[in-house]
A and B are shown apart, each in its own frame.
Chain A
Amino acid sequence: DAGITQSPRYKITETGRQVTLMCHQTWSHSYMFWYRQDLGHGLRLIYYSAAADITDKGEVPDGYVVSRSKTENFPLTLESATRSQTSVYFCASSTGQGVYEQYFGPGTRLTVT
Chain B
Amino acid sequence: AQTVTQSQPEMSVQEAETVTLSCTYDTSESDYYLFWYKQPPSRQMILVIRQEAYKQQNATENRFSVNFQKAAKSFSLKISDSQLGDAAMYFCAYRSDINFGNEKLTFGTGTRLTIIP
Q: Choose one: A40, A48, A90; the contact of B103 (CB below 8 Å).
A: A48
Report which of B44, B50, B107 forms a contact with A42, defined as CB distance below 8 A.
Answer: B107
Least CB distance from B90 to A in Å reads 11
Contact between chains at A104 and B44 (CB < 8 Å): yes
Interface residues of chain A: helix, strand, loop or mixed (majority): strand
- Identify whether the interface residues of B are mostly helix, strand, loop, or mixed: loop
Q: Which bucket holds chain A's interface residue count?
A: 20 to 34
> How many A-B Cβ pairs are below 8 Å?
53
Nearest chain-A residue to B102 (Cβ)? A97
CB of A52 within 8 Å of the partner chain: no
Interface size on B, residues (CB 8 A): 25
CB–CB B108/A42 < 8 A: yes
B107 touches A102 (CB 8 A): no
Chain A residues in the interface with B (C-beta under 8 A): 31, 33, 35, 40-45, 48, 50, 56, 58, 88, 90, 92, 94, 96-99, 101-102, 104, 106-107
A-B contacts, 14 listed (Cβ < 8 Å): A41-B109, A42-B107, A43-B45, A43-B107, A45-B105, A48-B103, A48-B104, A50-B100, A88-B43, A96-B103, A97-B103, A98-B33, A102-B105, A106-B44
